[in-house]
Structure 1
Amino acid sequence: MKHLLLLSILFFSFTISGQELYEIRKINSPVVLDGIVDEPAWNSITPFPMTMYTPVYEGEMTEKTEIRMTYDDEYLYFSGIFLDSDPEGIQGNSLIRDGDPGGDFFNVMLDTYNDNENFNTFSTMPSGNRLDAEILNDAEGDPSKIFNASWNTFWSVVTSQDDKGWYAEMRIPFSSLRFDDKNEDIIFGLIVHRLIGRKNERQTYPAIPPNWNMAPWKPSRAQKILLKGINRKNPVYFTPYVLGRMRENNVHDSTENRIVNHADTDAEVGLDIKYAISSNLTLDLTLNTDFAQVEADNVQVNLSRFSLFFPEKRQFFQERSGVFNFATSTISQNRIFHSRRIGLDDKGNLLRVYGGGRLVGRFKNFDVAVLSMQTEGSSPAINSENFGVIRLRKRVFNPYSFAGTMFTSRLDSEGNYNVVAGADAFLRVSGPYYLTLKGGHVFSDNLSNSDNSLAYLRWERRAVSGLGYFVEAEHVGKNFEPGVGFILRKDNLALNQNVIYGIFIDGQWLRKFEPFVNNSIYLRNDDYSLETISTEPGLLTSFVSGADLSLSVLRVYDEVINDFSLSDESYVPAGNYTYSSLKTSYNMNAGRKLKVNLSSEIGQFYDGDKTSFSISPAWNQSKHFGITLNYTFNRIEFTERDQLLRADIASATILAALDTQWSLRSLVQYSQVNNKVAINTGLRYNKKEGNDLYLVYNQVSNTADRDVEGTALPGTESWSLTLKYTYTFIK
């Protein structure tokens, strides 16, 4: 009984240098991970005081929630008791690892480096599936860029359900986390959530006012907790793989003007090693790296004269990927390091990766990230290359600011080189006011030594309650071409502004009005003449149900110097254009079993007329099956030039699971511009973390009667079937 009395208070608060901490004390009695919260250790712990975040901040919570935390020498433990007055309404909509079709959730977010910038998140649903991710950049910017769902680590969760509600027990090994331990004491940032999907009711600890964008996901708003007496183990993870593959390609041989069939089978073996050199420094090594199980990219339609941006999904590049971040404007997507440049050619085709290494973590108050990868040359035009990155950052002035440098290199077997040196600073000046400064310079044997720099400045007031805004300026030189980066448009000075004013409403139906104005100006570097200006005023309305409605008007002026193609049959000629369109979107509460999202854009497009409409219905039939459809109708007519572009795209995403181990994920996509259907289907058996069997099928088909130089293209352009097995040994 003595140890139960000692644990009668889980945490107490005290102040160190003005920072309030809650100390989490160790347990002495075991926790059996069975999803039933009945161990004596849990009974003696006081649950976190929860607060309603939505639909009404600090409103009366409709269901009782008890979330507790403790730890021992090897693990962090979390438990959740989620009572529900309508147990039939509990939604556990997925069994799939990292599947997120909406419903009820239990979320744990840990800022393990206490840097107020990055979270490791661990989540589950009543169905007991595991979802883990990284949250980057203090949850600021485009949600698709700040949530890195491709990050995975080793941890466990078990859930149960009865006529009173549902329950969860979560166990996270300290060896799966990276952190600073000083005298065996560590400080984490912590946020926990409970989401009741059907009600759009989110409960959080700590209480976080809705004054910032993505407020409940911001590491800077986390509760600081103290854990004492941590003597962490540093295991080594060896993960070999074996792979067998059959594939067939039909390609056009221009020299003989015929379709040539290439069919072969092959086998591969490789190895990944993960070693935690210390509690906050991790080394990843890879040999004959393979990414066969990576999900396919979503199809996009390019209606501009600039390149499309695709995110990184490959697991090897995920851990602490935020440290590698050196992006500038969220509008331009410019960055001096983008890992998708490694192992992929300009058309997205895979190149063999011989191997490499990656060191990430913190060393003597510096965030450190080092990467080196070697790829194979696939043709006379593509040489074998080495890609290198060095990133250093240090906290300065206050806990929310840092300054850093980055160096990238791309060297090929012929001696060609592209090296970039960059420096940046992110400074919290006062309260919600932030200043960002970034700069970079390219050194290359293939580029002129003039006009090859980038400079970026941003001032912002981070707020979504009341006035929020940002203004930014970005200069990109004509010859600024980072070999391992992504640049949307060069040789210009971009001036971007965004202003919002959030008005919260304590109404029965409405939650928030948010009028906004987006504005972008692009000036040419040589004479600062106007190239492009776009202005978009609008209104975003959020509803208590979790739905939202957006209306805006887009006005664009664009001076096109050279003709650019939209398809084989349509183009935009050089000239000066001014055009406008009306944009609308409506999104239902993501927690609904059946939901439909809608968007449209109607108006002018350069010297033509554009009608675009998108509908995305999703149905989560049960935790065993869900399907999401998308159809986007794109019609652009240039009447004076008698050109009609139909750029429709369609997709179907199917998620099916027998249990938390057996799952199937299939993505079928159609693009009318190139008349192709692409299929990516993966069957996964995940016995435990690091022990996986994958069966992956890919196919690309032509859907129209097309020919090249009079030679008809085959119906099936390519297909492949891959069987891959990985097993992790822990030493």
Structure 2
Amino acid sequence: MRTEGITGIASENDFTVARGKSGSCPIVPQSVLCMWSRDGDGSVLNNKGDDYNRTFAVDGRWGIGDETLITGWAAATDTPGLSGRDGAGGIDANYVSPEWNISAGYSQVGENFNPEVGFLQRRGFRKYTAGIRRSIRPNNLWGLHELRPHINYRGYWGFDGFQETGYLHVDNHWEFDTGMEIHTGMNFTQEGVREPFEIVNGVTVPVGEYEHEEGQFVFWTNQGAPLSINIRSNIGGFFGGDRVNVEPTLRYRTGEKFSTELSWSHSDIDLPVPGGDFEVDLARLRLSYSFTPRMSIQTLVQYNKRDDVVATNLRFAWLQSANAGLYLVYNEVDESGLGAPRRDAQQFIIKYSRILDLFN
């Protein structure tokens, strides 16, 4: 793939992706090797020899019996000017049976890991995860279909040993025969802030280590019914202060063709800093209509009340097989607010892909 350059802003680039898959390795029964490459023309850096990026990755899956699966991956990047700690990798083990679900994992991403052809949410960390869940189906108890007590943990540390994030979730899911479900949980959180940051305009969270507890409650009616309701709430500590978050969602569908979803997320936050008492509201409207099983149109409209911003996404899909086919996507972000003259950013994307069988 090739992209055009913008003088002084972005160079012209050639992108290459290569992928190979093997299912005959005796040690790892299924493995995949990938390579992503970007080659620029050097118009911005004024040096074509340094205008490139390479990413190499391999992953594998090893199933042991019917209930255990081990997955692992490793990756490295090659970027001019970056050396040392430019690798990443991880391993996960999962045991799943009708009654138990047990998992554990470890991963890390170096500070100089730089996959430019892709998306990297976080770098420079070590991550540990663990979880255990028990599924219990009682006989004639309060109309319950299943109980799912569980504990999950994830933690992030920097390479200097500083804990950046900790999240311990202790919960039980109460699923009833009617399809109604209730979740009653507690979360124990830890956030390590290395540098001050603005959580909203004019409100800064200072450097520090923040440990809190919060209660979590989830309720929903039968999601298989034409009309259903979902309510989620979190109440507890937040960066040295308090937070109350409530998110109701209303869903409606008619047959197999049309569905809609309307939700509103409200957060009332009180932090011990200047301007720290504020509210955040986000509304979402989703609409979906399927002309046929392979042809559909979907839209998502979001409104951020605090910043008075409206974002719209409209997507038309005409599929052939395995998600290959024609996609038309329109995105718009209107920062002028509801009812004001339009002042927005617009984007239109056309994508077509087709799977070819070259050997049959």
Question: After TM superposition, is the score higher than 0.5?
Answer: yes
Secondary structure of 1:601's counterpart equals strand
What does residue 308 of structure 2 align with?
A: 675
Q: Given the alignment of the two structures, is residue 718 of structure 1 paired with residue 352 of structure 2, yes or no?
A: no
What does residue 385 of structure 1 align with?
A: 13
What does residue 231 of structure 2 align with?
A: 598
Deviations 1:398-429 (A, max 9, x none): 89931232211122221311112222221113
Paired residues of 2:245 and 2:267 also in contact (CA < 8 A): yes
How far did residue 524 of structure 1 move? 2.0
Amino acid at match of 1:606: F
Paired residues of 1:470 and 1:497 also in contact (CA < 8 A): yes
Alignment of 1:112-123 (within 5 A): none
Paired residues of 1:701 and 1:715 also in contact (CA < 8 A): no
Q: Given the alignment of the two structures, is residue 531 of structure 1 paired with residue 164 of structure 2, yes or no?
A: yes
Among 620, 629, 637, the alignment partner of 2:262 is 629
Residues 674 and 377 of structure 1, relative CA distance in 2, 3 Å threshold = farther
How far did residue 386 of structure 1 move? 2.0
Residues 523 and 627 of structure 1, relative CA distance in 2, 3 Å threshold = closer
What does residue 428 of structure 1 align with?
A: 63
Secondary structure of 1:715's counterpart equals coil
What does residue 129 of structure 1 align with?
A: none
Alignment of 1:332-343 (within 5 A): none
Paired residues of 1:569 and 1:645 also in contact (CA < 8 A): no
Alignment of 1:122-271 (within 5 A): none
Q: Given the alignment of the two structures, is residue 481 of structure 1 paired with residue 78 of structure 2, yes or no?
A: no
Secondary structure of 1:425's counterpart equals strand
Secondary structure of 2:136's counterpart equals strand
What does residue 3 of structure 2 align with?
A: 375
Amino acid at match of 1:445: P
Among 122, 141, 154, the alignment partner of 1:520 is 154
Paired residues of 2:205 and 2:273 also in contact (CA < 8 A): no
Secondary structure of 1:488's counterpart equals coil
Alignment of 1:536-551 (within 5 A): 536-551=169-184
How far did residue 720 of structure 1 move? 6.2
Among 218, 232, 243, the alignment partner of 1:610 is 243
Secondary structure of 1:479's counterpart equals coil
What does residue 22 of structure 2 align with?
A: 394
Residues 548 and 388 of structure 1, relative CA distance in 2, 3 Å threshold = farther
How far did residue 693 of structure 1 move? 11
Structure 2 CA distance for aligned equivalents of residues 431 and 694 of structure 1: 41
Q: Given the alignment of the two structures, is residue 499 of structure 1 paired with residue 108 of structure 2, yes or no?
A: no
TM-score by length of 2: 0.82
Amino acid at match of 1:547: M
Among 75, 89, 107, the alignment partner of 1:455 is 89
Structure 2 CA distance for aligned equivalents of residues 560 and 529 of structure 1: 10
Count of residues in correspondence between the two structures: 342
Residues 596 and 521 of structure 1, relative CA distance in 2, 3 Å threshold = same
TM-score by length of 1: 0.42
Paired residues of 2:313 and 2:329 also in contact (CA < 8 A): no
How far did residue 612 of structure 1 move? 0.8
Paired residues of 1:699 and 1:716 also in contact (CA < 8 A): no
Structure 2 CA distance for aligned equivalents of residues 683 and 425 of structure 1: 34
How far did residue 545 of structure 1 move? 2.7
What does residue 638 of structure 1 align with?
A: 271
Structure 1 CA distance for aligned equivalents of residues 128 and 315 of structure 2: 43
Deviations 1:668-719 (A, max 9, x none): 21013432112345689x7x999999796956252289xxxxxxxx731137
The answer to which structure has the higher helix fraction is: 1
Amino acid at match of 1:439: A
How far did residue 621 of structure 1 move? 5.1
Amino acid at match of 1:457: I
Deviations 1:183-232 (A, max 9, x none): xxxxxxxxxxxxxxxxxxxxxxxxxxxxxxxxxxxxxxxxxxxxxxxxxx
Residues 551 and 401 of structure 1, relative CA distance in 2, 3 Å threshold = farther
Amino acid at match of 2:175: S
Paired residues of 2:303 and 2:309 also in contact (CA < 8 A): yes
What does residue 45 of structure 2 align with?
A: none
What does residue 620 of structure 1 align with?
A: 253
Structure 2 CA distance for aligned equivalents of residues 495 and 664 of structure 1: 40
What does residue 576 of structure 1 align with?
A: 209
How far did residue 659 of structure 1 move? 8.4
Residues 530 and 722 of structure 1, relative CA distance in 2, 3 Å threshold = closer
Amino acid at match of 2:344: S
Q: Which has the higher contact order (CA 8 A, sep 6+)?
A: 1
Q: Given the alignment of the two structures, is residue 406 of structure 1 paired with residue 39 of structure 2, yes or no?
A: no
Paired residues of 1:567 and 1:673 also in contact (CA < 8 A): no
What does residue 326 of structure 1 align with?
A: none
Name the larger-Rg structure: 1
Paired residues of 1:503 and 1:513 also in contact (CA < 8 A): yes
How far did residue 633 of structure 1 move? 0.6
Structure 2 CA distance for aligned equivalents of residues 694 and 479 of structure 1: 35
Deviations 1:227-257 (A, max 9, x none): xxxxxxxxxxxxxxxxxxxxxxxxxxxxxxx
Residues 420 and 397 of structure 1, relative CA distance in 2, 3 Å threshold = closer
Structure 2 CA distance for aligned equivalents of residues 441 and 721 of structure 1: 32
What does residue 194 of structure 1 align with?
A: none
Paired residues of 2:103 and 2:132 also in contact (CA < 8 A): yes
Secondary structure of 2:343's counterpart equals strand
What does residue 115 of structure 1 align with?
A: none
Q: Which consecutive unaligned segments of at least 5 residues does structure 1 have?
A: 1-372, 706-713
Paired residues of 1:567 and 1:645 also in contact (CA < 8 A): no
Structure 1 CA distance for aligned equivalents of residues 80 and 304 of structure 2: 39
Secondary structure of 2:200's counterpart equals coil
Amino acid at match of 1:385: N
What does residue 189 of structure 2 align with?
A: 556
Q: Given the alignment of the two structures, is residue 439 of structure 1 paired with residue 74 of structure 2, yes or no?
A: yes
How far did residue 561 of structure 1 move? 0.8
Structure 2 CA distance for aligned equivalents of residues 431 and 664 of structure 1: 39
Structure 2 CA distance for aligned equivalents of residues 456 and 501 of structure 1: 26
Paired residues of 2:281 and 2:305 also in contact (CA < 8 A): yes
Structure 1 CA distance for aligned equivalents of residues 265 and 53 of structure 2: 39
Paired residues of 2:284 and 2:302 also in contact (CA < 8 A): yes
What does residue 144 of structure 2 align with?
A: 510
